[in-house]
Amino acid sequence: MAEAAMKAPMAEAERELTDGFHLIIDALKLNGVKTIYGVPGIPITDFGRMAQASGIRVLSFRHEQNAGYAASIAGFLTKQPGICLTVSAPGFLNGLTALAHATTNCFPMILMSGSSEREIVDLQQGDYEEMDQLAIAKPLCKAAFRVLHAADIGTGLARAIRAALSGRPGGVYLDLPAKLFGQVMDAEAGKKSLVKVIDPAPAQIPAPDAVKRALDVLKSAKKPLIILGKGAAYAQADADIKALVEKTGIPFLPMSMGKGLLPDTHPQCAGAARSTVLAQSDVVMLIGARLNWLLSHGKGKSWGEPHSKKFIQIDIEPKEMDSNVEIAAPLVGDIGSCVSALLHGLGGHWTAPPADWVKAVASKRDENVAKMAPRLMNNNNPMDYHGALGVLRTIVKERPDAILVNEGANALDLTRGIIDMYQPRKRLDVGTWGVMGVGMGYAIAAAIETGKPVLAIEGDSAFGFSGMEIETICRYNLPVCVVIFNNDGIYRGTDVNTSNADPATTVFVKGARYDKMIEAFGGVGVNATTPDELKRAVNAAMDSGKPTLVNAVLDPAAGSESGRIGNLNPQSALKKK
């Protein structure tokens, strides 16, 4: 500012000036933003430097999509919008996938992108990285704004923060044209123009009659079930959710990222009896979980049809109700307020669910857990998923505060089923889209935002989508241990193409040594061929906090098509020729 003032004509030198660069930084800091995830370049390079100099942590990635995924999960973990910063057109588009992902998963995130000269872009005269970014972002996020004047920066950011956090959280696009950064204005007026967003996610208290209706339906149940989704994890109402589950005595089923809200080893956990509770329950209370494909849309054989059941749904988004099936008791509000109202309504005496139901669920669960146990203790060479996951499961049990990032097909489904979680928001995975590529971005943001060690269990294909970010992990010296379940390909490494010399579409280089990649950047690489070797390597990494990549060599024949969701593959009716 002082420098700008010196260069300004005499009349202006007497008053202090500010500009777009500084106003954006001041607005971010005023609203508590501590970290920006991005990739530098025109027109935001200097902005990144200045933000860093001002004390904001600016983390540079190798690809915007990974920076965007990092920002999205930062939003989930902190209940503050994660900030991603990109350059115009291609950088923006690279970040846009993550913005759409954040919106789909209900994570608060702001994609701030530099953009090219409006006058040239709108006349389509071929500017450097020309694109009408605002129009393109709009249908893919919750809200999109463009700031043209430095005096509007405060309002622009305030609108973005509110849009990301209020109601159902989601992704917001903020367009920052190149010219904005250098726009100068009076410093005092600039300061006044900034907005500190007060109460961006106001409590949304449920209506008393909706609470009563929900309790009445719950009371009528003979075989009740509570499903905890990632919305419940996001809400950070951990103690009340635990109290509600324990006071009612109702079995609970955690969705993937809802795992750990109550420990998977909790006596009421029905995780290992999933098909039984879905099919046999008569009343289901959904807390922050949608009846989308991940819950078979709340109908059909897996839900025990033709028997019908009643749903109670807690969600902040009223339009979610009846999206797939009738909701007998919609409870619209924020999860914290709704759960606390339910707890209140339970009063002193609540009749526990019928003992035969609770017992049936527990014994089914124990039976399934016992069936799995011997497989997890195998020391087979080549390794299979169960042998590898048996040791990783113990490592997570011993470090319940570590964060588990997980993606792949078999590598995802088997890890989810086998590794118990003990604390809320410790399991981060592919989410609503089942997207590959979140791995390294999630791992980086998890380490940065929580300061806890991170274990990323990655299919070899899944890892490839963000693998270059292991340089980022090494550069910032993050406590991340990446374990690659290397079965030579997508689902399996055994497919054969019989028509020409090309490899089959699902297989990769056989015997690939991913561990060597991290050595190029000064990290620790380990090739593990047995569960014992895997255990030693991961324990060492989790204890030392050194960036580590373990290439876990799995039997290429281990794994099945699409993991647990092979049924979603369309089938050709024509006979193979």
- Residues forming contacts to ligand ADP in the complex (CB under 6 A) are 105-106, 168-169, 229-231, 234-235, 255, 257-258, 288-290, 292, 294, 315-317, 320, 334-335, 432
- For residue 440, give the nearest of 493, 496, 390, 484 by alpha carbon: 484
Least distance (Å) from ligand TZD to the CB of residue 417? Answer: 13
> Are 75 and 35 contacting, i.e. CB atoms less than 8 angstroms apart?
no
How many residues are listed for the chain in this entry?
577
- d(C-alpha 249, C-alpha 242), whole Å: 10
Tell me whether residue 41 or residue 503 sits nearer to Mg ion (CB atom): 503
Determine the Cα–Cα distance for residues 544 and 481; give it in Å rounded to an integer. 10
Q: Which residue is nearest to ligand TZD (CB)?
A: 459
Q: In angstroms, rounded to a whole number, what is the distance separating the alpha carbons of residues 171 and 348?
A: 41
> Quick one: which of 391, 367, 362, 363 has its CA closest to 377?
391
If the CB atoms of residues 259 and 386 are measured against ligand ADP, the closer one turns out to be: 259
Rounded to whole angstroms, how far apart are CA atoms 439 and 171? 19
Tokens of 440: 């390294």
Q: How far is CA 292 from the centre of its chain?
A: 17
Residue 37 binds: one of ligand TZD, ligand ADP, Mg ion, none (C-beta under 5 to 8 A by kind): none
CB of 102 to ligand ADP, least distance (A): 11
Residue 334 interacts with, from ligand ADP, Mg ion, ligand TZD, none (CB under 5-8 Å by kind): ligand ADP
Q: Is 313 in the site for ligand TZD (CB under 6 A)?
A: no
Closest residue to ligand ADP, Cβ-based?
231
* Closest distance to ligand ADP from the beta carbon of 413 (Å): 15
Instruction: Name the one range near Mg ion by CB under 5 A: 34-42, 288-296, 480-488, 534-542.
Output: 480-488
CB of 435 to Mg ion, least distance (A): 16
Can you give the three-state secondary structure of 51-109, one letter per residue?
Answer: HHHCCCEEEECCCHHHHHHHHHHHHHHHCCCEEEEECCCHHHHHHHHHHHHHHHHCCCE
Instruction: Please count the helices (runs of H) and the strands (runs of E) in the chain.
Output: 24, 19
Distance CA 561, CA 508 (A): 15
Ramachandran angles phi, psi of 125, nearest 5°:
-95, 5
Count of residues in contact with Mg ion, rule CB under 5 A: 3
Q: Decide whether 164 or 435 has the Cβ nearer to ligand TZD.
A: 435
Which two three-digit tokens encode residue 325? 């099936």
Instruction: Tell me the closest approach of the beta carbon of residue 197 to ligand ADP, in angstroms.
Output: 17
* Distance between CA atoms of residues 148 and 183, nearest Å: 10
Nearest to 147, CA basis, from 183, 121, 185: 183
- Residue 436 touches which of ligand TZD, ligand ADP, Mg ion, none (Cβ within 5-8 Å per kind): ligand TZD
C-alpha closest to that of 409 among 426, 429, 427: 429
563 is in the binding site of which of Mg ion, ligand ADP, ligand TZD, none (Cβ under 5 to 8 A by kind)?
ligand TZD
Among 415, 487, 530, 551, binds Mg ion (CB under 5 A): 487
Site for Mg ion in 257-276 (CB under 5 A): none
Q: Shortest Cβ distance from residue 227 to ligand ADP (Å)?
A: 7
Site mask for ligand TZD (CB under 6 A), range 462-501, x = bound: x----------------------x-x--xx----------
Whether the upstream peptide bond of residue 208 has omega within 30° of 0, thus cis, is: no
Question: Residue 317 binds which entry of ligand ADP, Mg ion, ligand TZD, none, with Cβ cut-offs from 5 to 8 Å by kind?
Answer: ligand ADP
Quick check: 563 binds Mg ion (CB under 5 A)?
A: no
Q: Compute the least distance from the CB of residue 427 to ligand ADP, in Å.
A: 10
Nearer to ligand TZD, 384 or 460 (CB): 460
- 96: contact with ligand TZD by CB under 6 A: no
Work out whether 94 is an interface residue with ligand TZD (CB under 6 A): no
Residues from 421 through 460 that contact Mg ion (CB under 5 A): 459-460
Q: In whole angstroms, how close is the CB of 273 to Mg ion at the nearest point?
A: 28
Q: Determine, following the binding rule CB under 5 A, whether residue 467 of this chain makes contact with Mg ion.
A: no
Cα-Cα-Cα-Cα torsion 522, 527, 533, 538, nearest 10 degrees, comes to: 40
Binding mask 305-344 for Mg ion (x = CB under 5 A): ----------------------------------------
Which residues ranging from 416 to 435 are in contact with ligand TZD (CB under 6 A)?
A: 434-435
Distance between CA atoms of residues 227 and 224, nearest Å = 10
3-class SS of residue 18? strand
Binding to ligand TZD (CB under 6 A) within 350-409 occurs at 408-409
CB closer to Mg ion out of 104 and 406: 406
Say which residues have a Cβ less than 8 Å from residue 368's Cβ, sequence separation at least 6.
272, 273
Check: CB of residue 152 under 8 Å from CB of residue 191: no
Can residue 437 be called a binding residue for ligand TZD (CB under 6 A)? yes
Cα–Cα dist 83/79, whole Å? 12
* Footprint of ligand TZD on 518-577 (CB under 6 A): 559, 563
Q: Prior bond to 81 cis, omega within 30?
A: no
Q: How many Cα atoms sit within 13 Å of 275 on the Cβ side?
A: 5
Beta carbon nearer to ligand TZD, 48 or 563: 563
Interface segment toward ligand TZD; rule CB under 6 A; list 120-128, 192-200, 455-463, 509-517:
455-463
Task: Give the one entry of ligand ADP, ligand TZD, Mg ion, none that residue 121 binds, where binding means its C-beta sits below a cut-off of 5 to 8 angstroms depending on kind.
Answer: none
The secondary element (H helix, E strand) that includes residue 164 is helix 153-165
Name beta bridge partners: 489. Answer: 507
CB of 130 to ligand TZD, least distance (A): 27
Nearer to ligand ADP by C-beta: 89 or 235?
235
Q: In Å, how far are 18, 459, 536, 573 from 504, measured between CA atoms? A: 59, 18, 34, 22
Counting residues that bind ligand TZD (by CB under 6 A) gives 18
- Residues found near ligand TZD in the complex (CB under 6 A): 408-411, 434-437, 459-462, 485, 487, 490-491, 559, 563
- Residues found near Mg ion in the complex (CB under 5 A): 459-460, 487
